[in-house]
Amino acid sequence: MLSIEAQRALEALRRALSGEGRGPRAGGRCAEQSTPEVTRARASRSLARFLRGLVDASPGTAQTWSARGLELRPADGGSQPSRRSLVEYRAGLRATPWSEGVPRGGEGPFGLSVYLDVSASMWQELPPIIATVGTACADLLSLPVMTFSIEARPVSLRELARGRLPTDAGTDFSALARDLLTRRIARAVVITDGVAAPLSDELVRALRARGVRLVVVFPGRSGTSPLDLCCPRGWKLGLGLHDRRW
């Protein structure tokens, strides 16, 4: 499902940039720009650019950051092995004759710690977000990626790419806060719609004492959330995934 969503988003972005399929303009805007595919493509591009900007803006990143590059995993497509894939398999460069290279998370103190809200209110917006985080920006991540709803749980890039995300349906930012404190995370990116009960005063004091700073990404418009107390000004992004029909 995620592969199909990612392909549709990339194709829509290509059409939008090349001007293909544009219909009559209405109100000074192209009708094509309102389609869900273009909305997803624009949101994916905005999120990827934003996450890469966070890494680039970190002091000392150029000296300490190193991407893990590609990890070989068995491909699930069931395609026939080619002569090249067989040779690489015999040479130990592939896990199987059908394996493929996929990006792994990065290594270094400036890798991004990402917390993904997988509560029920986020399910419709998750496919393009997961595709962007788990594929286009996988080299930026500090692994594992954390998901949260009522509880916070780690997921691998492989689980993320397959959409196998554990969820309790509801949302509780207390689980997120406790995980930040337990793992001593000083800065993290939280992707959420912000719909949850406020944090307790005890957790707020603990987060502030640790100097925790959060970048909050909203699927729709940038708004308010119980995490605002740890979110500096300008550290919010709205992806504009407002069309609920898809």
CB-neighbour burial class of residue 71 (10 A; exposed 0-12, middle 13-18, buried 19+): middle
Q: Domain 2-19+30-64+107-238 has what CATH class?
A: alpha beta
Q: What is the pLDDT of residues 3-52, one digit of tens each?
A: 665 666 666 666 666 554 444 343 444 434 456 677 888 888 888 888 88
Distance from C-alpha of 148 to C-alpha of 226, rounded to nearest angstrom: 15
Q: What is the pLDDT of residues 91-140, one digit of tens each?
A: 666 666 665 554 444 444 457 899 999 988 888 888 889 888 888 888 88
198, 227 Cβ separation under 8 angstroms = no
Q: What is the pLDDT of residues 172-212, one digit of tens each?
A: 999 999 999 999 999 999 999 988 899 999 999 999 999 99
pLDDT of residue 62: 36
User: Is the pLDDT confidence value at 160 over 50?
Assistant: yes
Instruction: Classify residue 190 as left (phi > 0), alpha (psi -120 to 50) or beta.
Output: beta
Distance from C-alpha of 120 to C-alpha of 76, rounded to nearest angstrom: 28
Q: Which residues, listed in sequence order, are joined to residue 145 by a DSSP beta bridge?
A: 155
Give domain limits for the chain. Answer: 2-19+30-64+107-238, 71-103
pLDDT of residue 213: 93
Distance from C-alpha of 12 to C-alpha of 53, rounded to nearest angstrom: 24
